[in-house]
Each structure stands twice: as C-alpha cells, then as structure tokens.
Structure 1
Amino acid sequence: MAKKLEYKDLLAAGVHFGHLKRKWNPKMAPYIFMEKNGIHLIDINKTLVALDEAAKAMKGVVRSNKKVLFVATKKQAREIVEQVAKRTGMPYVTERWLGGMLTNFSTIRKSIKKLNSLEKLMKSESYENLTKRERLMMERKKEKMEKVLGGILEMNRLPGALFIVDIHREHIALAEAKRLGIPVFAMVDTDSDPTSVDYPIPANDDAYKSIELIVNYIGDVIEEAQQERKQEKEAQKLQAEENKKRAMDEGADLENAPESHDEEE
C-alpha cells in the first residue's frame, strides 16, 4: 500500500521552497503560505490535500487499464522519473519532447516501427555483410532514435493521463494533452499556472529530494492501483467460474429430476 506522506516528509524534502517573489505566478497565490527572504514558501497542508486528490484520480486511470505517461526532461528529474516509470511499467519521456508526440501520434508510431525494424535488421545475417562504416552509421541512428523514443516503445495508444514535473518547462506536452482532453497531473511550482492542470500538486519542482519524494509516491499509488485491478480481475474470474459451475449443477439436477404425471380422473 502507498505510504501516506506526512507534513514532516514534505518539509524534510524541501517541497515548500518556491521561487523568488519576482518570478511568481499570481495564480499560485492560494497555495503560497508566506514570503521569506524574498522567496515564496508553499503551504504544505495544501500540497497534502492535492496529493490525496491526485492519488484518487490516478487510481481511477490505472484501474481502468490506461497508461500514465511520465514527462520530465530537466536534468535533476530524469533519473528518478525513468526509474519510477520502469518500476510501474509506464511510458516516459526524459530526453526531449518531440512536437506532435500526442497530437500526431500516428507519425510517432511509424518512427517506433522504424526503430523496431532497425533492431531486427541489426540481429539478422544481412547486418554482418554490411561494411564497418554502414554498421557504425546504423548503430548511431539506432542510439539517436532510442534516446528519444526508448521510453514510449510499448505505448501502443494515447495515454490515459500525463504526469509532468515542471509544466513551465514542459509547456508543449501540456498543450498537446489539453488539446486532446487528456488529464494532466503535475508538480506545480510558484512560477507556474496551476489552473492549466487538472490535478496540480503545489511543490518545489527543482530540488531533487522534492521531485524524488513526489514521483516515488505517485509510483506507489500506481502500483497499488495495479494490484487492486489484478485482485478485481481474479475475483471476477472466480465469480464467473462459480456461476458456470452453479448453472451446470442446476442443469444436471433438472435432467435427473423425476417426471411428474397428472393423475387420471
């Protein structure tokens, strides 16, 4: 079960540290507790409420068997986001957001097919017959494609939701998701607009510890929902088997029942 985060956990990770006052977005005002030394501090109690709301909605997405696409291309978020995405079996983008990754998904799928074909070719006998230079060029092309597409290779359809670290930086991903009506969960710092996100989580989106805490929590929530879905499916399967057995037993009882004859008058 996902460990419920507490006030002290968020405080220790520096989730409350926002940006300089001059960089703030006025729409973040409801989530700002105070200003200290020219820096805005986020109200952690509001973050805890937001995390609860996000967790409930995230569970709904995962239990309906939809994928959550993790997006974080900033240096301090890449590693942890990739780890959590891989742990939960979810797609991720940590290198560069390709314009049209969602809005032009069919073209992205073609690029993924090209990469898969390239991988097959490199395992075939014909690859060995190529010159050293041709093989090197092919390897470089594969590496380049894998860097950008590696995290979405198994994403066969549009995701059910996005989880973004820093909507300011990932504004293209956010715009594409909004255009397609895909719900967005995101860590939102004091320099961003929380109203542009379906489930904003007011938090420091620059510090590694803050990102690690929130992303790991979201990962735990996803795993919990996956487990609940698995148990649900197993329970449904058992129920279906019981119903089938009961129907067969009832059918057998009817076949073996003695025939009743009306008495002649």
Structure 2
Amino acid sequence: MLVLRDVTITFRRYAGLLRQVEVPGVRGVSLRLAPGEVLALVGGSGAGKSLIAHAILGLLPRNARLRGTLEFDGQVLGQPYPPGLRGRRIAFLPQQASHLDPTARVGRQLAWAARRVGARADLGARLAALGLPQGTTRLYPHQLSGGMARRVLAAAAGAGQPDLLIADEPTVGLDPASAARLLDRLRAEATRGAAVLLISHDLPAILPLAHRVAVLVEGGMRAEERAADFAGQGDALSSAYARALWRALPQNGFDPDA
C-alpha cells in the first residue's frame, strides 16, 4: 500500500546574493494506492506529477524540502531512498530515453536490470511482449527509435515483478499500437498484484486502464474520481472541475459547461 498524507514539496532558492526563499512545487497532496490497483495521476505540464514520483523514489534535488507523510508497505519513503525496504521492489518507468546507458547494448542493459533484482534475464519473452524484435538486444540506444527506446525502458522496469511500478508519461511519442501494447503490460502488472502509479497528461488514453484518476492543478489536488465515471457527459463525477475537464475534451465537444 502506497500512502501519501498532506505531501508538500518546496524548493529553496536564492533571491539575490544572500536571501533564500522557498518556491512551492506540490502542496497538500494525499493519495492511497492499493496492490492490484492502477491510479492515474493526471495534470498539465508543471502540475507536480513527476515531482511526486521523484519524492517516492527519493530522487528530489538537494534544495528540495519534503513535508508530510509518504509510506510504502508501512515504511517511510522520501529523501534519500531507504535501502532494503524490507525486500519490496519499486520500479520506475521514466519518460526520457536518456535513462538508457548510451555505451551499452540493449540486451546487456536488460540483463543488468534483471540481475539487480535477482530475476531471470528472459530477454526474448520480455521484448516480444512489447512488440520488439529479437535483434533489438544487439542495438545501442542511439539506434532505437523513440518508441522502441520507451518500450525497452518498460521491459527493464518490469524485471523482477515489482510491488510498485511508477510509469511517467509512458505513451508519449508512441504510435497507437505500441502505446496499447505498453498499457497492456502495465495492466498485466496490476493483474499480477502490483500497485501501478500511472502519470499522464492524456486522460482519454489512460481511462481504459485506470481504476481511479487523481487530477493535479498547479501542485494541488483538484479532484479524485473513479475512472468509470468519466463517461457520457460526466454526470457521475463528484467534482465540478473533473466534470468540466471531461466535457472540454475534443470528443466531448470542447464544452466544459455542457
């Protein structure tokens, strides 16, 4: 179980030569994510979605200040990431292909990912599940298309069957077929029992996969809804903001006041 209670993230910066100020990033966010559940964290650029992921992973920069409670499986998370975490595995599927080592072939990097978590390096099955040919293992990252690189990152993140999988904008830059394959893999992880935190700005794309949707706006939580309630005119949605967001989508006529 992942639990965030009143999580606030600020950044200390200099204003002039000597004076320091705290710049807000995320304020008062509370969330719960259970095993086998997919929670979609939705919002525009700068809403604070990736900051929350980085806080969970202990990857916030040194000038960040984290307040509130952040726990996974009863253990406190934050900065730095606690070693050992009682054998529980947290995996991260990043947005940028730059997370791949440019000096190592894909096969070696996938083998490293499996070895770090004590899993079998079944490269062929892992690549096939994401629609990648066997020859991909011999390629270097610069020889991959953007979509292929994203799927390689997904294969690495799924090594060792993590208990919590955080996916940051996993479908950006993918064609519809590749995006569907990747989302199917995330669904399979949840079906297996993993908790999946899916970060996205694309609400329609993640609705078939998510159980719940949390909406961030300018660092604050504006709505939390059942994914199934984003349907029709959104009359089942409890939040006026979520209802307006849903109705403003192109397929719903760009009409937040409908």
TM-score (norm 1): 0.23
Kindly indicate which of the two structures has a greater share of residues assigned to strand. 2
Which has the bigger relative contact order, CA under 8 A and spacing at least 6?
A: 1
Question: Over alpha carbons, which structure has the higher Rg?
Answer: 1
Which one has the bigger helix percentage? Answer: 1
TM-score by length of 2: 0.23
